[in-house]
Chains A and B, each alone.
Chain A
């Protein structure tokens, strides 16, 4: 069963901590995405990557960075966590071209205290 796996379902971190959210996909997809999901705001794109070591800013990249050292793994980094980064974080992947939907992970609910 193909899937996108996010390493943690729930995380609680302190303000100022550096936080790593990991995502791995086993579908050999070129594209990978990080979204955050907040009530009333829907899904907002943070960063995406279409190849190893390549990254593009999404709509809300401030306070975040990403790393894609291997095709199957896309990491989201919160350099210095803040309370306004408390959210559900969703990773997704898709093939490089063509009309395909995304495959999402189960999400990581991050709480920053």
Chain B
């Protein structure tokens, strides 16, 4: 069936280290993927997206990698800061219809000082 899942529900990293958050998807028809960040008490915030014709996309301190062969998506955060503490969601869109976005359950990232 269709699913978007996360390998780890929680992740703890040392401040200054790089963080890697993983996500698996099962629908090979998905052509667009998004990462969201949700801080405590706030709504999800768009971080970065990637289309299925790409393998990698970089933003400011964040990189998303897409491996279509194994249906895997990852979010890398460089030099993790205390402000990066949040729940991170991946989401997939199985077509141009916006109603087809499916969200994963989220990974909580905590930063050790």
Partner of A90, one of B44, B46, B98, B105: B44
Q: Please measure, in the bound complex, the distance between the C-alpha atom of A56 and the C-alpha atom of B43, giving whole angstroms.
A: 22
Flag if A42 contacts B105 (CB, 8 Å).
yes
**Is B110 located at the chain interface by the 8 A CB criterion?**
no
Distance in angstroms from A24 CB to nearest chain B CB is 14
B residues less than 8 Å from A90 (CB atoms): 43-44
- Against B, the Cβ 8 Å flags (1 = close, 0 = not) of A34-46 are 0000001111000
* Known A40-B105, A42-B104, A106-B42: A101·B34 in contact at CB below 8 Å: yes
Q: Please measure, in the bound complex, the distance between the C-alpha atom of A40 and the C-alpha atom of B106, giving whole angstroms.
A: 9
Q: Please measure, in the bound complex, the distance between the C-alpha atom of A96 and the C-alpha atom of B97, giving whole angstroms.
A: 7
Chain B residue, CB-CB nearest to A42: B105
Flag if A97 contacts B96 (CB, 8 Å).
yes
Flag if B43 contacts A94 (CB, 8 Å).
no
- B-side residues, CB < 8 A to A, are 31-32, 34, 36, 41-46, 49, 51, 89, 91, 93, 96-99, 101, 103-106
Q: Please measure, in the bound complex, the distance between the C-alpha atom of A102 and the C-alpha atom of B34, giving whole angstroms.
A: 9
Flag if A104 contacts B43 (CB, 8 Å).
yes
- A-side residues, CB < 8 A to B, are 4, 31, 40-43, 48, 50, 56, 90, 92, 94-107
A residues less than 8 Å from B49 (CB atoms): 99, 101
* Known A31-B99, A50-B99, A94-B98: A99·B44 in contact at CB below 8 Å: no
Q: Which 5 A-B pairs have the closest CB atoms?
A: A104-B43, A99-B32, A42-B105, A101-B34, A43-B103
Partner of B106, one of A42, A94, A105: A42
* Known A40-B105, A42-B106, A43-B89: A106·B43 in contact at CB below 8 Å: yes
Chain A residue, CB-CB nearest to B51: A99
Q: Please measure, in the bound complex, the distance between the C-alpha atom of A103 and the C-alpha atom of B45, giving whole angstroms.
A: 7
Q: Please measure, in the bound complex, the distance between the C-alpha atom of A59 and the C-alpha atom of B97, giving whole angstroms.
A: 16
Q: Please measure, in the bound complex, the distance between the C-alpha atom of A56 and the C-alpha atom of B8, giving whole angstroms.
A: 33
Name 15 interchain pairs, CB-CB below 8 A, sorted by A: A31-B99, A40-B105, A42-B103, A43-B103, A90-B43, A97-B98, A99-B49, A99-B93, A101-B46, A101-B49, A104-B44, A106-B41, A106-B42, A106-B43, A107-B41
